[in-house]
Chain A
Amino acid sequence: RLSLVGTPKRNIQLSNIVEEVLFNGNSSLAESNRTNTPRRSRKINSTYDEDFICDEPKTPKRQKTSTSTPSSKSSAMTPTQKMKLIRSGAISAAIESRDNPLKRRKSDFEVARERLHVSAVPQSLPCREQEFDNIYTFLEGKLQDQCGGCMYVSGVPGTGKTATVTGVIRALKRDAELDIVPEFDYIEINGMRLTEPRQAYVQIYKQLTGKTVSWEHAHALLEKRFTTPGPRRQTTILLVDELDILCNRRQDVVYSLLDWPTKSTARLVVVTIANTMDLPERMLMSKVTSRLGLTRLTFQPYSHKQLQEIVTARLSGSEAFKGDAVQLVARKVAAVSGDARRALDICRRATEIAEETTKDKTVSMMHVQKALNEMIATLKVQAIKKCSKLEKLFLQAVAAEVARTGIEETTFLGVYTQLESIAAFMGVTVPVLGRALQICSKLGAERLLICEHSRTDIFMKILLNVSSDDIYFALQLKNN
């Protein structure tokens, strides 16, 4: 048949890209592991096209006939047609799946590692009950009242902001199914995932309807949706992650996102997440701050007890870790940042180290200490130690010149004079000027020095990028 004879190019497409045409939106939904990346499939597709064209050029006439036959309509599409389907949301993106996952009994370490992975968000978040309660009450009240509002959630990275908010949304979804709270729509955008602040409109519209349109159009349609009354409209909860990325100079996107909830017709609840505590006062215009409101919540960094609880909750049932090992990790991390991700990462690394070194079945303090040393490493001292002899002398000269003048900024000429005297003292031949400049540029490339202006002459300004204590320590010299 003609469709079988038709361009093999199409067949290659089909064999490589798993795709499924969705009838009426959700009747045959794809598997759960599919992600929304329509761009990607398009890109892969086009590369295959090009590859194939290079291999075996086809006459255009033949292609035309094959596409025009109705029998091969579903399989053969021009790129434009395909793009149209992607934009209208009729095709969902899929990635190729591997044959079948490995099935074998996992060791204790492996189970622990899996549980300790940052992406494995637990069902309930330990130590964030109060914040959970706070957000839940706020959102539940908004849903019951059927009015709009804003909330600002802040806190340093890794304190469980996004996990808590999505956990609240999950709880609310479940409650909506049980008919305790009204039904609602949930939309989520992340400032970091947008190439430009205005793409937020496109994303929001896409999550509402599944179609991809230009941002102007999306903005107009959203404006229409939120400013005209819709009697059967549900409340929409919009989660805006990384709010500070959306702030450009005009701040029009942030303004519209926060202005819609003030319309009585919109029924929009916006939850914004950012790191900075005083972002509204620092970066936003006063009219935007006024709309953001005062419902704010700050996530404090985890204390060492809380970190310990988090790790033990994840490891529940497994005997892979010793109690004091967990405590050491928790204390070290809580002293610096209170970042849960970091604690989990260190624990994972400790399991890896333990797995490859010991026959023992537990992770002890030693392994944790090793992992900590790896993570909080002082690389600069190592780098200085590994320098060549002349480079060491040069660094020493820079430190001496800084000590002599008392100013951090030195010129190459002064350093070279110091170098000459040090070299004479050590009994080394003094390198010629060109050689010394070469050494200097090498150290600058390593970022041990900062050569501020890259003119390579004797008036070049040089700054130390390490503290002089480090140099003395690494070269085993006495200070002063």
Chain B
Amino acid sequence: MPLITRRAASSRHKTSTKDVLSEINGEIDDASTRNVNGTSKSINDEVINTENGLKTPKRNNKRASKLACNGHTDESDTETSSPPKQPKSDPALFSPSSLIRNLRIDDQPDKEERSKSPRKSSLSRYGNARKVLNGAETDDLPGREAEIQELRSFFLSHLESGTSGSLYVSGQPGTGKTACLTHILRSEEISSNFTKVYINCTGVSTVGSIYKKICTELRLKLDGKTEKDSLRAIEKYLSGKHKMLLMILDEVDQLAGRKQSILYTIFEWPAKPNSKLVLVSIANQLDLTDRTLTRLNAKCDLKPKLMHFSPYSREQLITIFKSRLEAAGVLNVFSPGTLQLLSAKVAAVSGDVRRALDIGRRVVELAEQQQKKPKSKVDLTELGIDGSPPKKQNQTTQGAVPMQLVVSVLNNVYGASQTLSNDIEDTFPLQQKILICCLLLILENDKNKDITIGRLHDVFKRVCSKRNLMAVDQAEFVGLCSLVETRGIVRVIGKKEPRLSKIVLQWDQGEVTAALKDKQLIAAILQDTLCLKR
């Protein structure tokens, strides 16, 4: 049965393309070889696409041509070999404008192509988990059903009534704003009834060039090259007869200029009569429309509908992890307690799903690395010079990742100064340690808390000479300060005149003192108030 339907579909497709083909160049040989036929067909598809502005996504297009080709094989002769390789498209048919037109956000990776990717690596369970936990966009969005439903009903209601509307979506980074919108755009009922324009506003060079970008997305003909011409073309398009238009502006706060005139212009488009435009703007700030676009409040019909994506809660993060891991069949990589800990910690700080997935992946990576370590100690000379491959791990026992790893990754992320005490032990250079001690000494015992580098250097020199260490001179000392600054411990303000620039301790004073105290030398320095005298 499926074969028959396939054949029928393909033959239908073939006839339609053939018609168009004969219309266009009128000289296609029916008895031409399969190969030529196939290529011409694919070329043909491109022609239709570019000529009529037909909006079949690329994927359908490709599959259709493949099916057509298959059908042809079946009909013409009985050999069941795979179809010969076809050139993807004729390069001559790609004008730059058609290339840009093909840029669409709803293009999704071809599933067939992906499954027959050349290298089928035998992944371990950790590998599977790692692969599943990447931060790339997915279709599957657990925990956002309500928002998706709301967006869908918003679009559909405007579609039914034919009216234009405006929507402002806000939310912290990593709460799934763009993912939800792309997910909805992929659905059939919306993608077929709207002309869609998706623009990420970070890509525009100047604020004004957004108009030009919209024009290219809408494929409008321009009279001139200036901003005004583009604007006029868009407004002419909006007032004329057209399909419903769905315009999505991602990271819209990048367009905020000094006078906000462009934001106002864009936000006022939906209010134009007969514009049939649904405008969706996405940004991080909750109150962008209230703060920067105060004039919109004056007219009721201009006010955009607000929608907020709240950060993911603990339960939602757990569901996301579970659904992803379950899909890969490696649910037991994370024990329930580990998952709880991870998601609770992330939800408490930011609720950023990218961050949560990142931590998860990092934990799996570390676990994998730890497991690998005892077996094959990576010898650097071997890796660098010889041709021998690093040994493969055998994938026998891979249980749940240990909870300590999660804790250590979380500590690395959220606690910066806790790492100081580890570093102090081994590799923190001595002079830098003394520098921090001197800073603490001044902060604790001196009245004047405004510390310049010159003052710090004086104290530093006295401390060093008291302990028979060689003190670095001033130029070197400024370099030393900037080295400490890269660790985030201090901050140097005012770089113009090195001796006069101020130096401020960034971390908590008590914490740093505690971290430094257990060393004898350092404790002695911290006691020594005599060095402070001018």
Q: Give the B-binding residues of A (Cβ under 8 A).
A: 123-126, 128-129, 132-134, 136-138, 141, 144-149, 154, 156, 167, 170-171, 174-175, 178, 180, 182, 198, 216, 219-220, 223-224, 227-229, 231, 250, 252, 255-256, 259, 261-265, 275-278, 282, 286-287, 289-291, 293-296, 300-303, 334-338, 376-380, 403, 406, 408, 450, 463-467, 469
B412 neighbours in A (Cβ, 8 Å)? 296
8 Å CB interface, B155-199 against A: 172-174
Q: How far is the CA of A448 from the CA of B362 in the complex (A)?
A: 52
**Min CB distance, A256 to chain B, in Å?**
6
Contact between A287 and B173, CB atoms less than 8 A apart: yes
Stretch among B262-270, B298-306, B483-491 lining the A interface? B483-491
Contact between A265 and B107, CB atoms less than 8 A apart: yes
Contact between B100 and A303, CB atoms less than 8 A apart: no
Contact between B103 and A228, CB atoms less than 8 A apart: yes
Instruction: Identify A147's interface contact among B134, B172, B369, B384, CB under 8 A.
Output: B134
Contact between A174 and B205, CB atoms less than 8 A apart: no
Instruction: Identify A287's interface contact among B107, B284, B413, CB under 8 A.
Output: B284
Contact between B130 and A178, CB atoms less than 8 A apart: no
Stretch among B68-76, B241-249, B272-280, B352-360 lining the A interface? B352-360
A335 neighbours in B (Cβ, 8 Å)? 429-431
**Min CB distance, B455 to chain A, in Å?**
8
Contact between A337 and B429, CB atoms less than 8 A apart: yes
Instruction: Identify B368's interface contact among A137, A216, A338, CB under 8 A.
Output: A137
A287 neighbours in B (Cβ, 8 Å)? 173, 251, 284
Q: How far is the CA of A302 from the CA of B428 in the complex (A)?
A: 9
Q: Give the A-binding residues of B (Cβ under 8 A).
A: 58-59, 99-100, 102-103, 105, 107-110, 113-114, 117-119, 121, 123, 127, 130-131, 134-138, 172-174, 200, 202-203, 205, 251, 254, 284, 352, 354-355, 358-359, 361-362, 365, 368-369, 372, 378, 380-381, 383-385, 387, 389-390, 409, 412-413, 416, 423, 426-432, 452, 454, 457-458, 461, 470, 472-476, 479-480, 483, 485-488, 497, 499-500, 534
A336 — nearest CB in chain B belongs to which residue?
Answer: B431
**A to B contact number (C-beta, < 8 Å):** 213
**Min CB distance, A173 to chain B, in Å?**
12
A154 neighbours in B (Cβ, 8 Å)? 486
A198 neighbours in B (Cβ, 8 Å)? 205
**Min CB distance, B321 to chain A, in Å?**
16
Contact between A293 and B203, CB atoms less than 8 A apart: no
**Min CB distance, A276 to chain B, in Å?**
5
Q: With A300-B427, A336-B480, A469-B461 as known contacts, state yes or no: A141 contacts B365, CB within 8 Å.
A: yes
Contact between B121 and A293, CB atoms less than 8 A apart: no
A463 — nearest CB in chain B belongs to which residue?
Answer: B500
A171 — nearest CB in chain B belongs to which residue?
Answer: B383
Q: How far is the CA of A290 from the CA of B355 in the complex (A)?
A: 7
A-B contact pairs, 23 of them (CB 8 A): A123-B381, A123-B384, A141-B127, A141-B368, A178-B387, A228-B103, A229-B110, A229-B113, A262-B136, A262-B354, A277-B416, A278-B488, A290-B354, A290-B355, A294-B355, A303-B427, A337-B429, A337-B480, A338-B429, A376-B472, A376-B473, A379-B473, A463-B499
Q: How far is the CA of A126 from the CA of B352 in the complex (A)?
A: 39
**Min CB distance, B341 to chain A, in Å?**
16
Q: List the 4 shortest-distance A-B pairs measured between CB atoms, nearest first.
A: A231-B113, A290-B173, A278-B488, A287-B173
**Min CB distance, A88 to chain B, in Å?**
16
A128-B380, A255-B202 provided; 14 other pairs, C-beta below 8 A? A141-B130, A167-B384, A170-B384, A174-B387, A265-B107, A265-B109, A276-B486, A286-B173, A295-B358, A334-B429, A378-B473, A408-B452, A450-B499, A467-B454
A145 — nearest CB in chain B belongs to which residue?
Answer: B131
Q: With A171-B383, A178-B389, A290-B352 as known contacts, state yes or no: A337 contacts B136, CB within 8 Å.
A: no
**Min CB distance, B202 to chain A, in Å?**
4
Contact between A171 and B369, CB atoms less than 8 A apart: no
Quick one: which of B372, B380, B389 has the most chain A CB within 10 A? Answer: B380
Q: How far is the CA of A113 from the CA of B203 in the complex (A)?
A: 49
B428 — nearest CB in chain A belongs to which residue?
Answer: A301
